Structure 1
């Protein structure tokens, strides 16, 4: 049974900005571990393998939380679920800021991973409570703030951890999340639940979780495929089994977490395919550009310090911050397909250019900034396309899968980059050959360019 929707309430710009600031704060907290991982390994006396576990703990739990939050938000109201979710995230930030050892810090990261679910919930709220044209721009603003917050966290985590302590790099964003959540609770009106009497499809959610975890395990094992082929085969078989089981469960469920008929909609499955390809390309740049800044190889690299790298990435942070609003405005004016086409063209050009032109610092600064702009605009337009191609009762569910695929795309791109650099490192050396960087950039550019064949059929405009 679906609850009839009340006419949307008018909300002011202050409410939209409150959601945007909350997105920025969560994006900042999400990104502080990666640039400070060496520091955390020293202070907590953890091995590189344990450090790798720490770096992906939040990523995995976030991918698992997003679809659950989306379903609950669709069925019980986005605002109510978001407030409870932010309480879990704030608890995780507090635990991380006080953590004396790795197990406690891992617990904090697991709790913080719930923040990824805030994005589909914000899309539910904005689409329900704003007129169609304004909701597109607002979704773009929130997406841009989240991406910009992630870049901000990358830039400030090191200085805060070195100047104050590692505890403060978790505590400061957590305080911002608490304050922003209070503003959202005060300024954002309650949204009416839909399908509030339907049961949650826990078997479907469990199988989707198994798919994500198995996929991540496969990525982690890929570099060792030559020495452990049987393990990789087992992982592939498990992945196929989980996907098959999930499809079977969703077809038969009385209230499936995801209506498989949506996957038959060209706008939906094409958006998912393009999201994966775009995120693979962006992840390669995110991983490789700092490496090129820091490395001092034979005739390439710049031997930059962490502080210098932060300054070099500042233009990319600025582009990431404005990319969401620009993507929303572009989707409203020209259609989501046009924005994604332009973004992929820009990303492909940036990746290919950096593959062959990286002899000066400004080459990488400009290339990374262009890719950040293209990535943010593409993802925003794809989220808008997905959100407006389904009815309001499925907004959170459909967009949450975009975020799951975004996580998988970034993980794939990062793992691909690391594997190529490892394979391209000469025996007895710790510095990859320059050709390894060229190969990784070219592969990423080709993956992004291939997505254009799918984008052309996304169609013009969006359904409202």
Structure 2
């Protein structure tokens, strides 16, 4: 039997601003590694393969923590779990800032990866303290500022690392996270947890975590190439066996980690499928466009160096920030399904057009900005729609599953793009053919377009 407490107190702009500030600081900390990876590799004496472990570690931790944090937030209160999670992230940031070697830095990244759980916890808070219309706007604001933090991190990481040190690159955003967490703790009222005598489904937690880890690692290993068919089959069977075991446990326990009946809701499963398909197409674009920009200008590339590529991608990052706020307002006015439909059409059309229109840098810059805007609008609309469609007690776990689906989809898309280029690489020059890029963009567009087939199953979004 579940008993809820009295209706929660409504919150004002200051509390929402504190959540947004926290999201901005988290996005900054998450993004500082990518532009400074060459410096980290040189400073720590590691190669590219070891350097990639930093990204893999954070990705795996985020995929595991997000659904667990969402479930615990649903049960014990979003604010309480968020504060504990931010303490973990802050400890990770401090460890990363003091790390003398790769193992210690990886430990810091493991703890930092817990930041992925902050988004579903924030959605729990705004769902409990705001009416549906304002919830969608708040979800868009928080999501947009998290993306904006990525922009800040990309811009400040290099100057901080070069003029101060790599240690301050982690320490400064971590300090901002600590300050923002204190603001959230002070300004955000306690949200009533669900009082229940049921035990936590720890077996379900473990099986879901193992399934996600196996899936992420399996995708990276398989798409990396070089594995015999038998090994690929073994990885697939292992992931399927873990997923099957998790489903079997969730069907039998009295209080499952994830209510499978919730997953069977048209609004939920269709949101997950749309998120996966659009993330796959987006991940392929994220990988292919920088690769095309960096290829030698003597062929069909543009010879852009890392600094140039960062500037070329800046409009896309800005577009993603703007999209967050617009998505929340548009979802409130027109409904979730209408916003996602427009986003999916724009994403698919732009990707397919890139198959033939990639002869100038401005075409790639504009296309990447359009894709970033459309995908971000759709992602925020999906999160906002889910947050206001499922029962309030399931807000955290439902939105966290979408967050994980997006992370896995982008990773799988990027690996797929890499596999397409590797398959067409000329052994004499070591360069992929232009046809590979054309094929990759068109495949990405078709994958994104497939999401339109699923949208009819989605209920019309909540309006104010």
TM value normalised by structure 1: 0.96
Q: Distance in 2 between matches of 1:394 and 1:62?
A: 19
Map of 1:163 onto structure 2: 163
Deviation string, structure 1 residues 233-279 (Cα, Å, up to 9, x no partner): 11111111111111100001111010000121100000000001111
CA shift for structure 1 position 224: 5.6
- The number of aligned residues is 464
Aligned pairs for 1:74-85 within 5 A? 74-85=74-85
Moved more, 454-463 or 82-91: 454-463
Give deviations 1:106-153, integer Å, cap 9, x for gaps: 000000000011111000000001112111110111111112222332
Name the residue aligned to 2:406.
Answer: 406
Change (3 A) 1:225 1:421: closer
Tell me if the contact between 1:388 and 1:463 (Cα under 8 Å) persists in the aligned partners.
no
1:160 Cα offset (Å)? 2.8
Note the 1:270-309 alignment, pairs <5 A: 270-296=270-296, 298-309=298-309
**After TM superposition, where is structure 1 displaced by more than 4 Å over at least 4 residues in a row?**
224-227
Counterpart-to-counterpart distance in 2, 1:55 and 1:224: 15
Residues 152-193 of structure 1, C-alpha deviations (whole Å, 9 max, x = no match) = 323332333233322222122111111111111111111110
- Displacement after TM superposition at 1:461 (Å): 2.1
Point out where structure 2 has 5 or more consecutive residues left out of the alignment.
none
Deviations along 1:180-232, one digit per CA (max 9) or x if unpaired, are 11111111111110145432111111111111111122212224656422211
Residues 409-438 of structure 1 show CA distances to partners (whole Å, capped at 9, x for unaligned) of 011011111111222211032332222222
Cα distance in 1 for partners of 2:189, 2:223 equals 49
Task: Map 1:111-130 onto structure 2 (within 5 A).
Answer: 111-130=111-130
- Which ranges in structure 1 are unaligned for 5 or more consecutive residues? none
The CA distance in 1 between the partners of 2:240 and 2:134, in whole Å, is 41
Does structure 1 retain, via aligned residues, the 8 Å contact 2:332–2:463? no
Counterpart mapping for 1:309-388 below 5 A: 309-388=309-388
Q: Which residue of 2 aligns with 1:133?
A: 133
| C-alpha distance in 1 between matches for 2:148 and 2:197 | 37
Residue by residue over 1:79-116, the C-alpha shift from the partner in whole angstroms, topping out at 9 and shown as x without a partner, is: 01101100100110111111111000000000000001
Moved more, 18-27 or 109-118: 18-27
Q: Which residue of 1 aligns with 2:15?
A: 15
SS of the counterpart of 2:2?
coil
> 1:256-271 residue pairs with structure 2 within 5 A?
256-271=256-271
Larger CA deviation: 196-205 vs 450-459: 196-205
Assess if the C-alpha contact under 8 Å between 1:69 and 1:81 holds in 2: yes
Output the TM-score relative to the length of structure 2.
0.96
Match of 1:66 in 2: 66
Distance 1:200 1:250, change over 3 A: same
Separation in structure 2 between the aligned mates of residue 274 and residue 226 of structure 1, nearest angstrom: 31
1:7-64 per-residue CA deviation (whole Å, 9 max, x = no partner) reads 2312111111110111121112112222322222222121332222222100100110
